Amino acid sequence: MCVIRLSPLDNIVVLTRSVQAGDIVEIDGRSVSMPQALGLGHKLACRRIAAGEKILKYGVPIGSATRDIEPGEHVHLHTMQSDYLPTYTLDEARLFKGAR
Amino acid sequence: MNPIRNDAFLRADGRKGIRNTVVVVYLVECAHHVAREIQLPFREADVHLIGFGGCYPNDYSFRMLQALCTHPNVGAALLVSLGCEGFNRRGLLQAIRSSGRPADTLVIQETGGTRSTIERGRDWVREVKRQLEATPRVPMAARELVVGTVCGGSDGTSGITANPGIGRAFDRLVADGAVCIFEETGELIGCEQIMAARAATPELGEILLGSVAKAAKYYSVLGHGSFAPGNADGGLTTQEEKSMGAYSKSGSARISGLIKPGDVPRAGGLYLLDVVPDGDVRFGFPNINDNAEIAELIACGSHVTLFSTGRGSVVGSAISPVIKVCANPETYRNLSDDMDVDAGRILESRGTLDEVGAEIHRLTLAVAAGAQTASESLGHQEFVLGYKSFEPIGPACHPTYAV
């Protein structure tokens, strides 16, 4: 076993060791052949994820899919993007409303 | 009440300690050597050295030393002053004495210098240690514990093993009724909305958002971004993902409040410790190293600190034991004497996150019951305290007290 699911809600799993191209990785009982080498910590889809769908890790959204992602496919900069709005670049005065 | 031990140390102020420590406290760097010499013969006998190096007074450092000298793990305090520093030594002595603890001050300039101050100090410590043998011993429950968490020397494994493992332990401790504290708002940039959604009230949610915005602004003035290109090589894709790795130490409980260094929560639950100073950027980095953060967690009452490390920090702390949770199995094999929990075994199919979480929970209770941590047995007693400034927290920061 070389992947870990951090929350039951997640649609991705995380590699617990590095893999080489051609290695077979088991994800939820499905065998997936790795098209490329990937290091520990990289994410693989554990089901089909549609373009625009949230990527869930630790049970929370960490960004959105930028295209359809197949089960077992690498989920990274080429398939997803951040949803995070860096609010701290906005007007500070408004942000500190209610905070001391 | 189901006690975790029957022999906790009861202080006159009603709080309960899991250690019975004497602190020797230098009030300026110029008194550091004398204080260290006083402590040296007792360093393996629960006498710890803490202090503040600055000569100029600062409300934060006063508040920190007051909170630390009246921490439930501390039974008595000896203050060592050069004599001309700006620290309010009379105020500190009075605060410690009014907590019911034996305390005294030696002023080097009024005690005949180095040699005679060391001698007087050692005599004082010897005598007070005899007195502390009579400290009342009482049962203590898990819900009376305060537990902090920090990460240091993180690597790509931290966010998938040790941090979520600590989060699961925190969930169990919060369910026990304990106080759990997480911190470092600078590492939470990107998950503030997720965090705010866990706040006990909408007002607290706004305060949590504000604390992360403050950290983002503070670090950007210092020229530090949070997401680096190296993060993407390690498989992290977005800012929010990176922050979630650190944030996962907090577990999944409702967030009961926001505190600042020296604030001791009065009810069980999960708290965010805001370590970033208020106002304009002054005094440089909020925390110059991991031990500055540990000292702040202890000042908020932490009896035990859970320390997540991937690359392999070896530190402990004065006053409260540190449990080291090692995220990386290679590091664990390399530094096993320094580590308490092999969380990285998850990566080698030798355990699950839930098992690691249960082990951290069990070990936290065992250490609270008196078991030594790795860093304690190796004699680690790190301590550092610098300059900062804070505004006091308002009532909306701890909404659960009202009910």
- Per-residue model confidence (pLDDT) at position B399: 79
The three-state secondary structure class of A95 is helix
Q: What percent of chain B has pLDDT over 70?
A: 97
A8 touches chain B (CB under 8 A): no
- Give me the residues paired with residue B51 across strands: B26
- Per-residue model confidence (pLDDT) at position B286: 87
With CB atoms and an 8 Å threshold, state whether B206 touches A98.
yes
With CB atoms and an 8 Å threshold, state whether B156 touches A84.
no
The region of weakest confidence among A68-82, A86-100, B59-73, B268-282 is A86-100
Both tokens of B27, joined, read: 């009030």
- Per-residue model confidence (pLDDT) at position A96: 43
- Per-residue model confidence (pLDDT) at position B154: 84
Confidence of residue B227 (pLDDT cuts 50, 70, 90): low
Angle at B305 between CA B140 and CA B22, to 5 degrees: 70
CB-CB contact of B274 with B211 (8 Å): yes
Cβ-Cβ pairs closer than 8 A, A with B, add up to: 120
Residue range A6-27: average pLDDT?
95
Between B243 and B124, the higher pLDDT residue: B124
Q: Three-state SS across B337-365?
A: HHCCEEHHHHHHCCCCHHHHHHHHHHHHH
State the amino acid at position B287 in one-letter form: N
| Structure-token match 């449990």, residue found | B323
Both tokens of A85, joined, read: 């709005």
d(CA A75, CA B194): 21
CB-CB contact of B305 with B148 (8 Å): yes
A76 touches chain B (CB under 8 A): yes
Confidence of residue A95 (pLDDT cuts 50, 70, 90): very low
| Structure-token match 């998850």, residue found | B346
String of DSSP letters for B305-340: EEEEESS------SSS-EEEEE--HHHHHHTGGG-S
- Give me the residues paired with residue A3 across strands: A15
- Give me the residues paired with residue B50 across strands: B25
Both tokens of B108, joined, read: 């080097």
Confidence of residue B245 (pLDDT cuts 50, 70, 90): very high
With CB atoms and an 8 Å threshold, state whether A82 touches B209.
no
Q: Which residues are CB-neighbours of B349 under 8 A, at least 6 positions away? A: A1
Query: Shortest Cα distance from B347 to chain A (angstroms)?
Result: 5
Confidence of residue B402 (pLDDT cuts 50, 70, 90): very low
Cα radius of gyration rounded to whole Å, chain B: 21
- Give me the residues paired with residue B324 across strands: B307
Helices (H) and strands (E) in chain B, counts: 13, 14
d(CA B128, CA B77): 9
A60 touches chain B (CB under 8 A): yes
Both tokens of B170, joined, read: 């925190």
With CB atoms and an 8 Å threshold, state whether B210 touches A95.
yes
With CB atoms and an 8 Å threshold, state whether A63 touches B237.
yes
- Per-residue model confidence (pLDDT) at position B229: 67
Residue in B211, B214, B347 nearest the CB of A16: B347
d(CA B217, CA B109): 44
CB-CB contact of B50 with B320 (8 Å): no
Q: Which of A28, A72, A77, A80 is nearest to A54 (CA)?
A: A80
Does residue B356 surpass a pLDDT of 90? Answer: yes
- Give me the residues paired with residue B49 across strands: B24
Query: Shortest Cα distance from A87 to chain B (angstroms)?
Result: 7
Taking CA atoms, B285 is separated from B62, B138, B164, B192, in Å, by 19, 41, 27, 21
Q: Which residues are CB-neighbours of B115 under 8 A, at least 6 positions away? A: none
CB-CB contact of A58 with B164 (8 Å): yes
The three-state secondary structure class of B296 is helix
- Per-residue model confidence (pLDDT) at position B395: 87
ipTM: 0.83
Confidence of residue B287 (pLDDT cuts 50, 70, 90): confident
For the four alpha carbons of A21, A23, A25 and A29, in that order, the dihedral sign comes to: positive
Residue in B190, B234, B394 nearest the CB of A41: B234
Phi, psi of B5 (to 5 degrees): -160, 160
d(CA B360, CA B171): 11
Residue in A42, A87, A92 nearest the CB of B235: A42
- Per-residue model confidence (pLDDT) at position A98: 40
Confidence of residue B255 (pLDDT cuts 50, 70, 90): very high
Between B242 and B12, the higher pLDDT residue: B12
Residue range A56-69: average pLDDT?
94
DSSP letter (8 states) at residue B262? T
d(CA B104, CA B25): 10
With CB atoms and an 8 Å threshold, state whether B213 touches A87.
yes
In a 13 Å sphere around the CA of B379, the CA atoms on its Cβ side amount to: 5
- Per-residue model confidence (pLDDT) at position B184: 87
d(CA A18, CA B169): 28
Query: Shortest Cα distance from A57 to chain B (angstroms)?
Result: 8
Both tokens of A9, joined, read: 């809600």
Taking CA atoms, A75 is separated from A27, A85, B31, B58, B309, in Å, by 14, 21, 56, 49, 26
Residue range B139-157: average pLDDT?
94
State the amino acid at position B309 in one-letter form: T
A15-24 residue pLDDT tens: 999 999 999 9
Confidence of residue A85 (pLDDT cuts 50, 70, 90): low
The region of weakest confidence among A12-26, B340-354, B388-402 is B388-402
B35-70 residue pLDDT tens: 999 999 999 999 999 999 999 999 999 999 999 999
d(CA B308, CA B249): 9
- Give me the residues paired with residue B395 across strands: none
Both tokens of A96, joined, read: 């500190």
Cβ-Cβ contacts under 8 Å, B190 against chain A: 82, 84
